Amino acid sequence: MPIKSVDGDLSQNFMEPPDYAHEPPPMSALQDLLFAQFQSKDLLKKAERAGQAYLDGVFDRNAAPSQAAIQSLEAFDEALPIQTTNGEDILDQLINLGSPATSAQIGGRYFGFVNGSVLPVALAARQLAGYWDQNAALNVMSPISAKLEAVAESWLCALFGLAEGSVAGFVSGSSIANLSGIAAARWRLFHRLGWDINRQGLAGAPRLRILISAQAHGTVLKMIGLLGFGTDNVEILPVDAQGRLCAAALPPLDERTILILQAGNVTSGAFDDFENIMPLARAAKSWVHVDGAFGLWAALAPSTCHHVKNMESADSFATDGHKTLNLPYDNAVIMSSDSEALRAAFHSMGAYIQKSGGRDGMFLTPEMSRRARGVEFWAGLKFLGREGIAALVELLHERAKEAAKGFRAAGFEVLNDVVFNQVIVADGKNTTKLMEAIQSEGEIWLGPGQWFGRDVIRFSVCSWASRSRDIERAITAFTRARHKIMNDNSRGE
Ligand SMILES: *Cc1c(COP(=O)(O)O)cnc(C)c1O
């Protein structure tokens, strides 16, 4: 089916052969235009003004875009222009159609997934780094990016109490950070068995064991599949009622075992039992990878740090910057005390690759070309400092507890112990209807989940901007939605 649009039909992009006979405008005209755009700076100023106007409204508007705004996105379904398009028009299209169709994730009433807001200084640093247009692959490409990555690396490793010599690679998200940690584990355990996984591959390799909990995040299984282990070959361990893996559920461990633990269950926020598991894993010389996408930061606040006791002795750690730390999107880190394994997993060569004495980020990550994420990480960490990070974690935890208390007082079920920032809410048989009513009203936004076979609502506090009154508005939205459902039922709809 062709994609219908206002101005035409997208399928024509594929149906018409390219018009090579058509003479393009002179190259110099394009170059002149681009220079003129940077010289006048009109486009950049326009985008900056629009961004600032967006900020003025976004903390008060609904968390969800309206149906009309989403409907209007159809205007983007147009054929690729033949000629260059006026830059101002492009920005107008984004401002007029794009801005209203955003989810107000930057605000304080977006409780879906585990999506954070953004720290102003990190946003500003990103804007500046955008002008720099740095490629962070190698030190020789971008000395400033290499420097800020190196500083952020040392700060992060110190913050989490990792062993001397630990390293960090800056990646897009915890999906890739999980991939990176498991790839390092794979290299190390095979290496110990005299097998070079990079050269010899998996066919005919000695067998490794992979242990995960029944509540491991979907990206963990995805990456296990991608690394060739086969998800059928994973041993899945049972969890307790909070979704925690406890030491008692572990089979005997050995030096061929990759054990993947979780700091922050994506539904309940729960933490695996690091305190009792880590000594067993250390004694057995297993590799422990921690998926701590949002929960790793619990280590840094007084009221939550007991959940991750002994976690620092694991071998690799995945965590996002764009969740708990409230950095802009596309920011995460893989940390490991085994720098040799991480580097070996991402070894890469090429006659044109110029190594330097400095930090070459591409040897710690799957990608080569990357944007300079270290700029945002560095700015966010420097702004908050140790105490600011602790305060941010405490704030998210405190708001989640307020929410749980409010939901219970309003007669809703809360199914988990609120140990971090996640609250699991249900309302008898009406849970899904309730969630849909809340979503369609749009004042707050949150999404569904499954909890031990039950449909539930996941309520995640991950934004620095969530105030007590935003939590109150959320509880009111729940109550309003419940009344609406009751009214609809009594009218026989
Ligand atoms: C969000 C999340 C991931 C995936 O992280 P991305 O940044 O979305 O790639 C993995 N594990 C857990 C526990 C998460 O919450």
For the segment 282-330, what is each residue's pLDDT rounded down to a tens digit? 999 999 999 999 999 999 999 999 999 999 999 999 999 999 999 999 9
Query: Which residues are within 8 A (CB) of 323 and not within 5 positions of it... i.e. 6 or more apart?
Result: 114, 115, 116, 174, 293, 294, 462
Give the end-to-end CA distance of the chain in Å, rounded to a whole number. Answer: 34
DSSP class of 335: E
Helices (H) and strands (E) in the chain, counts: 15, 11
Mutate to test the pocket of ligand 1, among 105, 114, 219, 319 (most ligand atoms within 8 A of CB): 219
3-state secondary structure of 11: coil
DSSP per-residue string spanning 55-109: HHHHTTS-SSPPHHHHHGGGGG--PPPSS---HHHHHHHIIIIIGGGS--TTSS-
**Nearest Cα residue to atom 12 of ligand 1:** 293
C-alpha separations of 72 from 32, 100, 287, 322 in Å: 34, 9, 50, 28
Q: What is the pLDDT of residue 6?
A: 43
Q: How far apart are CA 419 and CA 270, in angstroms?
A: 6
CB distance 345 to 312 below 8 Å: no
- For residue 332, the ligand 1 atom closest to its alpha carbon is 7
Question: pLDDT by residue for the chain (493 residues), tens digit each?
Answer: 344 444 445 555 555 666 666 677 788 999 999 999 999 999 999 999 999 999 999 999 999 999 999 999 999 999 999 999 999 999 999 999 999 999 999 999 999 999 989 999 999 999 999 999 999 999 999 999 999 999 999 999 999 999 999 999 999 999 999 999 999 999 999 999 999 999 999 999 999 999 999 999 999 999 999 999 999 999 999 999 999 999 999 999 999 999 999 999 999 999 999 999 999 999 999 999 999 999 999 999 999 999 999 999 999 999 999 999 999 999 999 999 999 999 999 987 787 888 887 899 999 999 999 999 999 999 999 999 999 999 999 999 999 999 999 999 999 999 999 999 999 999 999 999 999 999 999 999 999 999 999 999 999 999 999 999 999 999 999 999 999 999 999 987 5
Nearest partner of 43 among 98, 99, 91, 97, judged by Cα? 91
Give the neighbor-by-neighbor strand order of the sheet with 316-320: 167-171, 332-336, 316-320, 287-291, 257-262, 209-213, 234-237
The one-letter amino acid at 27: M
Q: Is the CB of 270 under 6 A from ligand 1?
A: no
**Nearest Cα residue to atom 2 of ligand 1:** 293
Secondary structure, 3-state, 181-210: HHHHHHHHHHHHCCCCHHHHCCCCCCCCEE
**Residue corresponding to tokens 């780094």:** 129
Q: What is the pLDDT of residue 4?
A: 43
Mutate to test the pocket of ligand 1, among 105, 114, 175, 179 (most ligand atoms within 8 A of CB): 175
Q: Is the CB of 174 under 6 A from ligand 1?
A: yes
Query: Which residues are within 8 A (CB) of 17 and not within 5 positions of it... i.e. 6 or more apart?
Result: none
C-alpha separations of 154 from 94, 167, 179, 317, 376 in Å: 39, 8, 22, 14, 15
**Nearest Cα residue to atom 5 of ligand 1:** 174
Mutate to test the pocket of ligand 1, among 170, 266, 271 (most ligand atoms within 8 A of CB): 266
CB distance 363 to 348 below 8 Å: yes
Q: How far apart are CA 264 and CA 458, in angstroms?
A: 14
pTM exceeds cut of 0.85: yes
Residue 264 CA to ligand 1 centre (angstroms):
10
Q: What is the pLDDT of residue 93?
A: 98
Q: Is the CB of 265 under 6 A from ligand 1?
A: no
Q: What is the pLDDT of residue 17?
A: 61
Q: Is the CB of 264 under 6 A from ligand 1?
A: yes
For the segment 414-429, what is each residue's pLDDT rounded down to a tens digit? 999 999 999 999 999 9
Q: What is the pLDDT of residue 23?
A: 75
Residue 217 CA to ligand 1 centre (angstroms):
7
- For residue 173, the ligand 1 atom closest to its alpha carbon is 7
Q: Is the CB of 173 under 6 A from ligand 1?
A: yes
